[in-house]
A and B are shown apart, each in its own frame.
Chain A
Amino acid sequence: MPVYVLRRLAQTLLVLFVTSALVFGGLYLVGDPVEILVNPQADQEERARTAAALGLDRPALEQYGIFLKGAFTGDLGKSFVFGRPALQVILERMPATLELAFLAMLMSLGLGIPLGLYAGLRPHGFAARTIMAGSILGFSLPTFWVGLLLIMVFAVQLGWLPSTGRGPTTELLGLQISILTWEGLRYALLPALNLALFKLSLIIRLTRAQVREQSLLDYMRFARAKGLPRRRVIGVHLLKNILIPLITVIGLELGSVIAFAVVTETIFAWPGMGKLVIDSIFQLDRPVVVAYLLVTVFMFILINLLVDLLYSLLDPRVRISEAKG
C-alpha cells in the first residue's frame, strides 16, 4: 500500500508538469496580457515598459523556462494584476471557496441520500415521482439563473437572508472561516444552496438508481428472506453497498463543486478563488491561472487517491491494481 501511494504521488508531479505546460501554452495563445492590463491611454512606450516589467517581452519558451525554474523552489511567479506571489493570492481566497463547497456538499448529501433512498424504495409512489421530477428541475436550470432567482425571492422579496457577499469571519487553525457563526452562515446559505442544487439532483438520481439495482440482488433477497428487520436491511446492507459507487461520484463531484463555484461566486459576490480565477482568465493573469490549476489539479489527485483507497476498504472485491502486478 505505501508503495502504491508513493508511486501515485510521483505520477502527480508529472501530471502537474503537463498541466502547467498546457495552461501556459494555452493562455499564451489566447492573447497578450499587456493589451488588457495597460491603461487604454498608454502609448507604445508605456506598453513596451509594461511588457518588460512583467517579463512578457521574452520568447514564450524562455518565459516558461523561468516559470519552471521558479516552480521548483515553490515560487509560481507573481500575479500580473496584484504584483504579489500568485500562490499567496490563491491560498488567501481558498478558505472561502472550500467552506462554500463543503456546505454545498453537506447539503446535497444530507438531502440527496435520504430522498434518493426514499425514491428508490418506493419508486411508484407520488412522493417519489415528485422527488424525481424536482431533481430534473435541479439540473436543467442553469446555475446563474437559479442564483438570481434565489436572491430575488429570499433577499429582495422576503428579506430573510443577505443578497450577496461573505459574512464576518472567525479564525480557525489560521484560516478565516465564516460559516462557524450564525451571522456568517446566513451569508453562505443562498450561495451554498445554489451550488448544491445540481449535485443534489445528481445524488438523488444516483442513490435511487443504486437502490433499485441493489434491492434486486441476491443478498438483499436473502437478507429479507432471513427476516432481518427492514431498518437493518436498509441501514446496513443496502447503504453499505450503494455507498461504493456514490463515493466515486462524491469524490468526483467535490472537485467539480470547487470548479463550478466560479458561477455561484460571481453572482453572489463571494470572494473565493473561483471568482478570482475567472477574473484572472479575463485579465490574462497567467501566473494566477497556472497556479490555480496546479493547486486544483493537485487537490483532485489527492481526492481521487483517497477515493480509490476508500474503495478498496469498502469493497474487498476491488483490489488496488498495483497489488496484483
Chain B
Amino acid sequence: MSAVLPATVPAPQTPFRRFLEEFFDSKLATLGFALLAAIVLVALFAPFIAPHNPYDLAKLDLMDSRLAPGEQGLGGASYVLGTDGQGRDMLSAILYGLRVSLYVGVVSGIIALTLGALTGVLAAYAGGRVEQFVMRVVDIQLGFPAILVALILLAVLGRGVDKIIIALVCVQWAYYARTARSAALVERGKEYIEAARGLGLSGTRIVLRHLLPNALPPLIVVGTVQVAHAIALEATLSFLGLGLPSTEPSLGLLIANGYEYLMSGRYWISFYPGLALLATILAINLVGDQLRDVLNPRLAK
C-alpha cells in the first residue's frame, strides 16, 4: 500500500527536505532549475532590467527600425540585439515578451491541468453515464481546431492576454482530461482501489489521495509539453493574426513578426526571441522531467 502513496506523504523525517534532496540529485535538473529561476527572475524584474520600455509607443522611433545588433540609432541609442520593424529594442522586447509568454503559458497550463485532471479522474472514477458524457464533451473539444476556438473567442471577447488564456484553456483542458482518465482507468482496475472501496473510504478520498496522484506522472509529462505547446500555440495564433495585441508582444508574437524577415537575412528579429523561447522551454522540461521522476511513487526507492 505505502508504495502507491505520494512520496511526500509517508516520509518519516521532513518530507520536503527529502523531496529537495532527491530533486537536486541530478546535475541536469539542478541546471534546469537554475535556468528556470533565472528566467523567471528576469521576467519578473523586466521593467528594471530592460534598457528601454517597449510598450511606450511615444519612445519608439520609426527611423531606428530594423537595426542590426549593436548598430547605433539616429538618436544615439544603441541596441545590443538590434531593433524590429517598428523600431523596438529587441532585448527589451524579449525581456518583456518573456514575461507575457511565461504568464500566458503557465497560467493557462495550471488552469487547464486542474480542470482537465479533475474532470478526467472524476469521469474514470464515476464511470457510467457521467464518464460517457464527459468523454463526449472531450471529443467535441478535441475536434475543434484551436484556431477556430480562438477566432470565435476573439470576436466575441476582443483581443488580449486574458482572452488568449481563456482560449488556451479551452483548447488544452481536454488533453489533460483524456490523459488523466486513461491513467486513472488503469489504476481503477487495480486491487488496492477495490480494497480502498472495501474499507469504506470516501469517494473524494479515493479520488484525491489515490487516483489523482497516480495519474500525476503522465499528467506532468503532458503538462511540461503543454506549457511549451501553449507558448508555441500562442505564437502560431499570432502568426495567423489572432494572438496578443501587437503593441505588447509576447515571445511568440516577436517570433511571428520576425518570420517575414527571415528570408531577407534580418535574422535577429525572430532568432533571438526564438532562442529565449527555447531556453525557457528547455528549462521547464528539465525541471518537469525531474519532478516526474521524484514524484513518481513507483520510481521512488
Decide if B270 touches A30 in the complex (CB within 8 Å).
no
Q: A22, A149, A216, A249: which contacts B298 (Cβ < 8 A)?
A: A216
Given contacts A213-B296, A321-B132, contact A27 B232 (CB under 8 A): no
Decide if B143 touches A300 in the complex (CB within 8 Å).
yes
B235 contacts A by Cβ under 8 Å: yes
Q: Which of B113-143 contact A (CB under 8 A)?
A: 127-128, 131-132, 135-136, 139-140, 142-143
Decide if A277 touches B145 in the complex (CB within 8 Å).
yes
Which residues of chain A have C-beta atoms less than 8 A from B41's C-beta? Answer: none
B206 contacts A by Cβ under 8 Å: no
Decide if A139 touches B232 in the complex (CB within 8 Å).
yes
Between B142, B255, B289, the greatest number of chain A beta carbons within 10 A of the residue's beta carbon is seen for: B142
Q: Which of B158-207 contact A (CB under 8 A)?
A: 175, 178-179, 182-183, 185-186, 189-190
Decide if A262 touches B298 in the complex (CB within 8 Å).
no
How many residues does chain B have at the interface if contact means C-beta atoms less than 8 Å apart? 61
B108 contacts A by Cβ under 8 Å: no
B166 CB, min distance to chain A CBs, angstroms: 14
CA A182 to CA B9, docked complex, whole Å:
59
CA A256 to CA B147, docked complex, whole Å:
12
CA A13 to CA B49, docked complex, whole Å:
56
Which residues of chain B have C-beta atoms less than 8 A from A19's C-beta? Answer: 140, 143-144
A195 CB, min distance to chain B CBs, angstroms: 13
Consensus secondary structure, chain A interface: helix
How many residues does chain A have at the interface if contact means C-beta atoms less than 8 Å apart? 68
Of all chain A residues, which has the CB nearest B283? A136
Stretch at the interface among B10-18, B80-88, B256-264: B256-264
Decide if B128 touches A142 in the complex (CB within 8 Å).
no
A293 contacts B by Cβ under 8 Å: yes
A60 CB, min distance to chain B CBs, angstroms: 14
Stretch at the interface among A72-80, A167-175, A204-212, A221-229: A204-212
B281 contacts A by Cβ under 8 Å: yes
CA A297 to CA B259, docked complex, whole Å:
32
B239 contacts A by Cβ under 8 Å: yes
Decide if B175 touches A252 in the complex (CB within 8 Å).
yes
For the complex of A and B, 8 pairs with smallest distance between CB atoms: A297-B143, A140-B281, A26-B152, A30-B155, A317-B189, A300-B143, A259-B145, A142-B235
